[in-house]
Amino acid sequence: MPCRYALLLFTCLVLAACGSVPSRPVAARPAPAASLPPSPQGVDVTMFALGLLETGYRFGGKNPDSGLDCSGMVTYVFDKAAGLRLAGSAADIARKGRPVATDRLRPGDLVFFNTRNQPYSHVGIYIGGDRFVHAPNNNGRVRTDKLSSGWFAGRFEEARSYFE
């Protein structure tokens, strides 16, 4: 009888070990949390930015009729959707706002990247679900990409919020 209990205990331990979750390497940047509620202005900015998808790219472009670059898109969207005037390059825009941890990102926050071996050389608008809208020059159109994977993941620098 004691042998039977020992065998049962041994079997339970083996099965428990088989059911354990294997350890995984920790990601360099955690995926943004989905539970933080967006601000009303952040929702407006997000919706307006999504309306610009497929707009053509133009270096120095500041309006959708003639084309947009990354900072032009951000300044245009923030002006039209939130009445907030941002100006200058991505690096200029990065100097404003308050830093936000990646796991605290909310729709409407800005995400900054080092894309030309230059700090804050690209900017996009976080829209939630680990995605952002931006105007990259390599595709020629405003599009969405994932923050935590692909070419931009290794070039992410910082996020900033401009709303409460």
Residue of 3, 12, 18, 122 with catalytic role: 122
CA quadruple 70, 133, 151, 147: dihedral sign: positive
Distance CA 38, CA 145 (A): 19
If one counts every other C-beta atom within 10 angstroms of the C-beta of residue 34, the result is: 9
Distance CA 65, CA 59 (A): 13
Query: In a 3-state reduction of DSSP, which class is residue 62?
Result: strand
Q: Bridge partners of 98?
A: 161
- In this structure, are strands 67-68 and 131-134 parallel, antiparallel, or unpaired? unpaired
Residue of 3, 12, 18, 70 with catalytic role: 70
Q: Is 122 a catalytic residue?
A: yes
Residue of 3, 12, 18, 134 with catalytic role: 134
Q: Is 18 a catalytic residue?
A: no
Nearest-CA neighbor of 146 among 99, 105, 117? 105
Residues catalogued as catalytic: 70, 122, 134
